[in-house]
């Protein structure tokens, strides 16, 4: 069942985007509004309009408690245009992992059709071919399948797919990563990947792949889960010149340590961004590192929201959107829990993304 509060939150957030579009006197605003609504409903339908769950057949992966939706807001040093950002885990836990993958791929096809981006389907299929086994029965014991999402802003819309890599040993996982990247590149990607493997393997293991689609596949992000996160291991794994962010990472890690205690095992996931040009060729470099911190352990702590605002102030991020984002979540869902925070590293700390799970939301498939 799709609860009215979900649509209420969407309307509040998308109104900010559409106001920005109207302020630019964009003639196609009504057509865009219709597409936005279709995207939202096509994400909701396979996520919430599902059969009641009597016995879970797989573990939830986007949120530990089974909540299948997470909203987010991105902050940078410049005032960003408003964007509606959402991730969902389609299908519910009353189906198997192979069924969840199939459900998500069907939903992804519908999203691509809505946007008129069917040409991206061929690229996505090439990635899927390397990530998931041809025999769906082999997926039965996997943990997690596919998440879907979108980012809708005034100037562009992106679709997102997140593919689980948490299966197999370290060598098997890196092989799947290599197969995906070389699918869109020539031999020039090999030394980049080899350097990354040497750099990260002492500390992290591949856990997922993200796909960014805007007309075509424009980005692939490798996610690597850190075994024993620490300030030292994070610095060791940052791509590029880590010395540029040494002081920032020290402050960030120390602030969390002082207020919430040491990082838990696998509580930090690193993301490495690879971009594709308009011809679909992967560029042989890592354009950005992301540091994703799981916050479930301390998000309910009294000092957590003040810590977020302290983080925004420390890195001089524009704070015009975070208060309204949290306020809208309180208004529609009686609050939220921050599941993850993410720092972007590109020559410096260039953005913060806050991912929040809404309260007062019945689990998908509940009566």
Give the largest CA-CA distance in the chain.
Answer: 53
Beta-bridge mates of residue 313: none
Residue 131 lies in a domain: yes
The domain in which residue 337 lies consists of 4-358
pLDDT value, residue 27: 52
pLDDT value, residue 126: 97
Residue 363 lies in a domain: no
Residue 366 lies in a domain: no
Share of the chain above pLDDT 90, in %: 83
Share of the chain above pLDDT 70, in %: 95
Q: What is the pTM of this model?
A: 0.95
pLDDT (mean) for 64-93: 94
Q: CA 112, 4, 329: angle at the middle one, nearest 5?
A: 85
- Is the model's pLDDT at 216 over the cut of 70? yes
Structure tokens belonging to residue 228 = 């024993």
Number of domains in the chain: 1
Residue 64 lies in a domain: yes
Residue 8 lies in a domain: yes
Rounded-to-integer distance, Cα 11 and Cα 2, Å: 14
């Amino acid at each position: 069942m799709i609860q009215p509060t979900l649509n209420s939150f969407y309307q509040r957030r998308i109104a900010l985007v559409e106001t920005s579009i109207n302020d630019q006197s964009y003639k196609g605003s009504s057509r865009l509004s219709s597409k936005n609504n279709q995207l939202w409903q096509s994400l909701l339908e396979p996520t919430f309009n599902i059969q009641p769950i009597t016995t879970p057949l797989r573990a939830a992966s986007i949120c530990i408690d089974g909540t299948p939706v997470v909203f987010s807001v991105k902050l940078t040093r410049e005032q960003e245009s408003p964007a509606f950002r959402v991730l969902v885990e389609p299908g519910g836990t009353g189906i198997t992992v192979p069924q969840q993958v199939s459900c998500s791929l069907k939903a992804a096809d519908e999203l691509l059709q809505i946007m008129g981006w069917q040409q991206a389907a061929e690229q996505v299929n090439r990635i899927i071919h390397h990530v998931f086994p041809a025999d769906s029965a082999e997926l039965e014991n996997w943990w997690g399948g596919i998440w879907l999402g979108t980012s809708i802003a005034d100037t562009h819309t992106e679709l997102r797919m997140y593919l689980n890599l948490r299966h197999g040993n370290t060598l098997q996982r890196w092989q799947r990563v290599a197969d995906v990247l070389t699918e869109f590149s020539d031999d020039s990607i090999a030394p980049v990947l080899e350097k990354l493997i040497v750099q990260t393997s002492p500390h992290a293991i591949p856990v997922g792949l993200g796909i960014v689609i805007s007309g075509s596949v424009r980005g692939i992000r490798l996610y690597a889960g850190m075994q024993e996160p620490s300030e030292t291991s994070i610095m060791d794994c940052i791509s590029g010149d880590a010395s540029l962010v040494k002081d920032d990472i020290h402050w960030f890690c120390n602030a969390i340590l002082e207020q919430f205690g040491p990082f838990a095992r696998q509580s930090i996931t690193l993301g490495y961004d690879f971009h594709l040009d308009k011809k679909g060729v992967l560029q042989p470099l890592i354009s950005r590192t992301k540091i994703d911190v799981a916050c479930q352990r301390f998000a309910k702590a009294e000092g957590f929201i003040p810590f977020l605002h302290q983080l925004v102030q420390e890195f001089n991020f524009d704070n015009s959107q975070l208060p309204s984002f949290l306020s809208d979540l309180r208004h529609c869902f009686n609050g939220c829990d921050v599941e993850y925070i993410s720092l972007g590293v590109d020559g410096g700390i260039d953005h913060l993304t806050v991912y929040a799970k809404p309260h007062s939301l019945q689990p998908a498939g509940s009566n």
